[in-house]
Amino acid sequence: MPEDVADGPRQDTGPSAASSSPASAARTGAPAPAGAQWHGTTTPALWQSTSSVVGERPSTATPAGEEDRMVPKRPTAEPAVPMVRKHVPSTAAWVCPPPPVMYQPSRLAELPWRLPPQPAPPGLAADSARVGDLEVRAASVVGPGHRIDETRAGPRQDSYRIGRDAAARHLVVAVADGMSDSSHSDTAAAVATLSLVNSLRRQLDEGVPLLHLDHRTAFLEAAQQVHAIARQRQWSADSVRTVAVAAVVPADTPPNGDRGIWLAGLGDTSAWVREPRRWAQLLGEKEQGPDAGRLRTYLPHTPEAVERRHLSLGPGQALVLTTDGVGDALTELTQAHDWFHHHWAAPVTALDLLLHINYDSHQRNDDRTAVVVWTPSADGGRP
């Protein structure tokens, strides 16, 4: 939702040729075509240690022997070679590249994070999964408007949930954005995403075909769950308002290559598909004109207003579900639209996705969440 924390006069959108930060430019490389094979998802060089000693890196937190137990052993007649742990010099450090800058940096991005008065969910969240032949990455981060003022710091009001049906034939995703002027919307968003994924999973497990999934039932149940938590905690219905979007995607490529997907959403949480030259918006378009920025449909008040879409996702494409912290950038900033189109041409790591959505941009201070689903290329290429 739009924030009332400003960091100066609003600037017009920059030209598409505007450059990103030096760090992000170093990561760019040549653009990848939409149908290209997937890149590897290994840790990029900019994330690696600054130590000049080859082969040295800080030790991980994995318990001793845990990795050995996870990797199957091949029988061998050779005696085991004792492992020698190399000394890590005290000067070694892990370097995280700065987030990309979209058009003009914000002074809020440089300020330290503050904690909300009450304990809250983590300010950062990220996930990575493979379901069938789909690659899934998800990330969410509290926006600068909710983290830099000690007296007004608040919880991350965005939420996502990823899951699958019992037979692992479908990926089920939900994203929700709690409304900023709703005091317990972070709880509402978390409850809504969990309810939506569980409702859709249950329908799939009961044998309901994908194209016949009941979007009204799914969103009505989510509204009921949000209402229930409000009543239990003696909160008003207006204090638990949230918008949401959900998707169901077949886990494996059908014989003809195009998989039908199911989408449903309410409010300005949005769904996008990556086309060869641009992002195409499928759900979540905002009001224009005098009503720009106003929401008329949201949970738990108007679940009946949910919209549904059926479409096909071809080989080498990406589907994105996002809150308006990312969706508005795709819509309003040409540079951001082009930058995400290039960098999300193929699967990235969960940490990279977290860095990407934590982009730095003047007066864009809302929470950001994105779940990205990639299909393999026509020749079955994968990371």
pLDDT digits (tens), the chain, 383 positions? 444 444 444 344 443 333 444 344 333 444 443 433 333 333 344 444 333 333 333 333 444 444 344 334 444 444 444 444 445 455 556 678 889 999 899 988 888 999 998 889 899 999 999 999 999 999 999 999 888 887 889 999 999 999 999 999 999 999 999 999 999 999 999 999 999 999 999 999 999 999 999 999 999 999 999 999 999 999 999 999 999 999 999 999 999 989 999 999 999 999 999 999 999 999 998 766 666 668 999 999 999 999 999 999 999 999 999 999 999 999 999 999 999 999 999 999 999 999 999 999 998 999 999 999 999 998 766 54
Rounded Cα gap, residues 124 and 39, in angstroms = 25
CATH of span 122-283+297-374 = 3.60.40.10
- Reading phi first (left if > 0) and then psi (alpha if -120 to 50, else beta), residue 336 is in alpha
CA atoms within 13 A on the CB side of 349: 10
Residue entry with tokens 């309810």: 195
In the DSSP assignment, the letter for residue 186 is: H
- The SS3 call for residue 131 is strand
**pTM of this prediction?**
0.77
C-alpha distance from residue 12 to each of 15, 285, 290, 329 (Å): 9, 20, 19, 13
Rounded Cα gap, residues 346 and 120, in angstroms = 33
Residue entry with tokens 């990575």: 128
Q: Is-contact 4 293, C-beta < 8 A?
A: no
Write phi, then psi, for 131 (nearest 5 degrees): -125, 115
List, for residues 252-303, the tens digit of each pLDDT value: 999 998 999 999 999 999 999 999 999 999 999 876 666 666 899 999 999 9
Burial per residue of 356-365, b for 16 or more beta-carbon CB atoms within 10 angstroms, e otherwise: bbbbbbbbbb
Residue 174 pairs in a beta bridge with: 161, 246
Give the strands of the sheet with 307-313, arranged side by side: 158-164, 170-178, 242-250, 259-266, 307-313
